[in-house]
Amino acid sequence: MKNLHMLLVDDETEFLSLVTRRMARRGVEVTSAESGEQALELLENEEFDVVVLDVRMPGMDGIETLRRIKARHPGTEVVLLTGHADTSSAYTGMQLGAFDYMIKPVAFDELFAKIRDAALVSGRA
């Protein structure tokens, strides 16, 4: 299996570091961004198989970031991480073309499975 290249966007740095390390162990190359703006910047220069995007972030929120990603890079698959109460943002996210949404706190194995599914779809595209 070829190495997946994933962009993880979350304002929680410890979360970024833990997930990066755990994904790396499973052969997923993770680039992390601490904000929506940073993520969009990175996307300009690199291609990713999948973007995992937290909805609740200070500054540009996940939905706005998703909207911009889909505008500039329609082929990039995005998995949203939402809070339980944010079913409306999950719904909006799906409307905007997100691959899927997951409710935090996410079980790692489920996330891993989900990004592999997303990468398969983006690989086909």
Partner 1 sequence: MDAKGYGVLRWKFIGVIFFFSLIPVLALGSFIHAQFSHTYEEKVTSNLRIMIENKRAAVDMFLQERIAQVRNLAYTHTLSEMGDQAFLSSLFGTIRHGSASFIDLGVIGSNGRHVAYAGPYELGGANYSDEDWFHQVMLKGVYVSDVFMGFRNYPHFIIAVLRREGDTNWILRATIDSEVFHSLVQSVQLGRRGDAFLVNGEGLLQTPSRFGRPTLERCTLPVQGINELTIMHLPGGERQELAGVVPLRTLDWKLVISEDPSEEMSPLLTVQSIALSLVLGGVVVIFVGAFLTTRAIVAKVERADREKAAADMNLMQSSKLAALGKMAAGIAHEVNNPLTLIREAAGWITDLLTDEEPESMKHFEEIEEAARDIDRHVERAKTVTHRMLGFARRMEPVQENVDVGALVEGTISFLANEAMHRNIIIQREYAPDLPLINTDATQVQQVVLNLLENAIDAVNRDGNITVRTGADQQGVFFSVQDNGPGIEPGLLSKIFDPFFSTKKVGEGTGLGLSITYGIVERLGGRILAESEPGQGATFTVHLPAA
Contact footprint for partner 1 (CB under 8 A): 12, 14-15, 18-19, 21-22, 25, 56, 83-85, 87, 103-108
12/47 with CB nearer partner 1 = 12
59 with 37: CB under 8 angstroms?
yes
2/84 with CB nearer partner 1 = 84
Map tokens 């690989």 to a residue: 123
- Cβ 16 to partner 1 shortest distance, Å: 10
- Minimal CA–CA distance to 48: which of 30, 36, 26? 30
How crowded is residue 16: how many other Cβ atoms within 10 Å of its Cβ?
19
107/125 with CB nearer partner 1 = 107
108/123 with CB nearer partner 1 = 108
- Minimal CA–CA distance to 10: which of 33, 27, 40, 30? 33
Cα gap 18→99, rounded to integer Å: 23
